[in-house]
Each structure stands twice: as C-alpha cells, then as structure tokens.
Amino acid sequence: MSGVSKRLVTAAAAVLGSLVTAAPASAAPSIDWTPCADAPGVECGAVTVPIDWAHPDRGTASISLARRKATDPRARIGSVLMDPGGPGGAGAGEVKGGWSLSPEITQRFDTVGFDPRGIGGSTQIKCGLDEVIADHPEVPHNQAEFDQLAAYNRKLGESCNRLSGPLGQFADTESVARDMDAIRAALGEKKLTYYGVSYGTLMGQQYAELFPDKVRALVLDSNMDHSQFTASGFLDSETRSLQAEFGEFVKWCGRTPSCALHGRDVSKLTRDLQDKAARGELKDPRSEEVITPLSLSSIIQGSFYGPSWDRLATVLKSFADGTPPAASVRLKDDIPVNTVFQSVFCDDWRLPVHSYAELEAYRRTAAAFAPDVKVNSLGWQAVTACIGWPNRTSNPQHPLQVHGAPPLLMLSSEYDPATPYAWSQAAARQSGSTLLTYDGWGHGAYGKNSPCVIKATDDYLITGKLPARGTHCAAVEPGSAGARIAGPKPPSASGF
C-alpha cells in the first residue's frame, strides 16, 4: 500500500441499529468542568449518553468536551457548540488547540467543542491494526481486485464489531445529533447555538430535523447533501466540483507571476503527469515513491482546501521536471488518520456498487468530464470504503426536512473541493434555509479572510438576523502556502 494510501485508510466499526424516536435530554446533569491538563485556559468535561438512544439501558458512552469561556462575561449570550467535520474530526481537541470563531463571537459566547461518539477523547471505536494496515487495491483493475477490496472492508468491519462492542453499532450521525441535545441540556442552554463545518453540517441538519424547537441559531458551513442517493451521482458531483476549482487554479497561475508554473500550460502539464502516473512511471523526486493517479488527485485536492495553490504549483513543477522541491514544501499537510470514517460514513450513506464493471464505469465517466483531476479522491474513498462493509446502513439518505425551527444560515464557497456548492444549494432549497455564498475558493467559507462572510455570520449568531437571500461575498485572493487563515482553523484536508 502506498504512503498516500496509508494516510487515507480508515478504521471502522459495525453500524447495525435502527432509526429511533427522539429521546428528551432535559434531565441531563450539569457538566463537571475542570482545567484541561494539556491546554491552559481551557476547561474539560464530559457528558454520558446512551449508546442506543432507543434502549438507554444497553450501555453508555462518554462524550468529551472542551470549553473556552467568553472573554467578556458581562456581554455573554451563552455557549456555541462546534464541530470541525470528518467523519472523525475531534471538536474538543480542536478547541484545545485554539480553534474558535471571531473575537466578536468569543467575547459573547463560551466556545464548546465536542468529540463525537467513537472519536478522540470520547469513548472510542477501535478496530484491529492488522485489518487496518492490510494491503488492498485502492482502484481495482478487475473483478478479482474488486473482490479483494470488498474482502478487506468486510474483515475490517468485522474487527471493529469484535473490538468495539455495542458502540460500533451506533456511530451514525442521527445518534450524534441526539448526543448534541444532551450536551445542550447539560450546558444549561434552553436552545442550541451551533457552528458546524463540512460533515459537521450533517450533524446540524439532523439536529434541526429532530429538535426544531430547541434551535436558537445554526450555522452550517460547506454542507453535505444527504439526498445524494447513488454512488455515481455522489462521485460525479464531487469530481465536477474539484475540476472546477482546478480551472480556477489555472487562471490564478496565469495571472500570478510568483506561481511556479506561470507561463506554462498548467492543464497540459497536469494531464501529462496523470498519463505518466497511469503508466506507473511517475515518482516523487525526493523519495522515489511511485505516485498513482489517485495519489496525484489526492495531492491536488489537499492543496485546494486552503487553498494552497502556490504549494501545488511547486509540487507539480517538481514532478514534471523530475527535481525535488525545496525542503520546506510538503506534498500534503500532516494529517491524522480518521479512524472512524467508515463506521460513520457507511452508517449514514447507502451507495451500493455491485461489481468491478460498475465501479469502472463510474471512474471512466468522472475522468471524461474531469480531464485534469480525473476523480475526486475523497469521493472515491467514500464510495469504495463501503464496498463489502458487513453491516447495513441505519441512517440512510433522505431530503432535508426541517419544520418548526427558526431560520438556519448555510455558508458555502463557490469552488469547494470536498462539499460541492451544489450540495449547499440543495440543502438550502430542501430546508428553506438562507444560503450565503462566498464567491471564492476552498473548504470552510467562514475561514477565508472574508470580512463579509464573518460579519454576516457573526450578526446571525448574535442577533438571529439573517443576511438577505441571495447574498454573495466577494472572493479574497489566496495567500501564500504559509499564511494562516483568519478565523477558525480550516477543516482537515482528509475528509468532509
């Protein structure tokens, strides 16, 4: 398995269970906050939740929390709960590391991050190491390899069933939404104020469906569209979005003299690299590691989150010229493995692929309309991760239906490499939410140095006032690879 493959590989847990009726969290106890040993100025706590909300007597899980108190107690409005996405993102860990919204929000709100069930400091889902690292084809080339991939996923899931106990049967986002209501009650909040980005938007969407009367203000940034019903549609929408941002990268390089590929045909160079990778002839000049077509697409996608276009140009130039880039340039950010990706995703999404021929047809279709990027590596990972998965999907797709909640605010970049703009448009249309569009690039619109996005979002969180429908915020030119994004930390470039 390649190095990129190992970084992308995900551990998983069994995901049996059924849709359940909402259980009240009003009786939740308060949280015993104590100073975090590993984060000065941050308080740590936990809430205990049922593993199976339909049968609370079948065991419990602990949900880890981290809180930074409002900087102006006299102006304090309440708490804002936050999740950074994933599946597998640890909100408590991110808050301990400094993740927050703008100073205007941190002045008035306690910032509270949580590690969803199975993740980080919460009760963990565990899977067998041998099963996680077992070799398997990322892109099958025939039916035998397709069967090998299915067997890998099945054995991995079975190891999670064996090692995680009943928690592994309830990793779905609907269960997480119920946990969020338990957190709300334990915080002493009558209604929830929430900021979720990427996969965290699905948590917020399902919270609004389940507990519309408990919503104060929900900001859903870079939305999942849980009405994507087929593997082909899911992969196509992901790949079209990535190819669209590649086109923006080419335009930027053409107008930016500092781009390492300025003056060159970036599209032709990249397609040549893709062809070389397909022949097995493309290598990293520094390590001699073979770069596969999926690895190359993953490198491109990872550079689009920020975006870090100058870094990508340098890397592509080094591949084309066969010379190592400067030591300071990394192919990708150092990314921790999302150990619960499959346990969550395969419980939330039913995207069946029945054979190699079917999967190959999807790959070829994507490559035909995305000649530069070939395929969205994250979308491919998501679809192929569930082939052969041993447990059924308990929280399958459905159109978003929110009734009785106050208006929600959705955000999206026009060019997003992980959650296509069309997904946010669909989620807003289905729910009647207001969509604020950032006319720029990257994943996580609030963190793109746009005063327009930040002010509109902050006003909504503080007052409940929404921007006018159809509001667009102008793009902010991407900075250098080393520049920090203002506002919250960008989502991980390994997931939604």
Q: pLDDT tens digits, residue range 234-246? A: 999 999 999 999 9
Cβ atoms of residues 471 and 436 within 8 Å: yes
Tokens representing 162 are 């064996």
137 in the same domain as 66: no
Would the pLDDT of 18 be above 50?
no
Domain region containing 87: 34-124+171-227+399-484
CA distance 457 to 440: 17
Instruction: Output the pLDDT for position 375.
Output: 96
458 in the same domain as 315: no
Residue 451 domain flag? yes
209 in the same domain as 73: yes
448 in the same domain as 379: no
Q: What are residue 92's phi and psi, to 5 degrees?
A: -65, -45
Number of domains in the chain: 2
- Once rounded to an integer, what is the mean pLDDT over residues 83-100? 94
182 in the same domain as 54: yes
Cβ atoms of residues 222 and 378 within 8 Å: no
- Spatial CA neighbour of 438 closest among 460, 408, 412: 412
Q: How confident is the model at residue 330 (pLDDT cuts 50, 70, 90)?
A: low
Residue 10 domain flag? no
289 in the same domain as 164: yes
pLDDT digits (tens, 9 = 90+) for 169-184: 899 999 999 999 999 9
Instruction: Output the pLDDT for position 323.
Output: 84
272 in the same domain as 388: yes
Last residue of a domain, one of 333, 363, 397: 397
Residue type, 24: P
Last residue of a domain, one of 344, 375, 397: 397
374 in the same domain as 258: yes
**Alpha carbon separation from 176 to 15, 170, 305, 446 (Å, rounded):** 13, 9, 25, 23
pTM metric for this prediction: 0.89
Would the pLDDT of 231 be above 90?
yes
- Spatial CA neighbour of 123 closest among 179, 85, 84, 69: 179
Q: What is the CATH number of the domain that holds 455?
A: 3.40.50.1820
CA distance 112 to 33: 12
CA distance 299 to 270: 12
Tokens 């969803």: give the residue: 116
- Once rounded to an integer, what is the mean pLDDT over residues 307-315? 95
221 in the same domain as 234: no
Tokens representing 71 are 């900087």
237 in the same domain as 220: no
356 in the same domain as 296: yes
Cα-trace Rg, the chain: 22
**Alpha carbon separation from 469 to 74, 143, 250, 439 (Å, rounded):** 33, 49, 31, 15
222 in the same domain as 324: no
pLDDT digits (tens, 9 = 90+) for 447-467: 999 999 999 999 999 999 999
Last residue of a domain, one of 374, 397, 420: 397
CA distance 493 to 338: 11
Would the pLDDT of 82 be above 60?
yes
CA distance 171 to 119: 10
Instruction: Output the pLDDT for position 483.
Output: 33
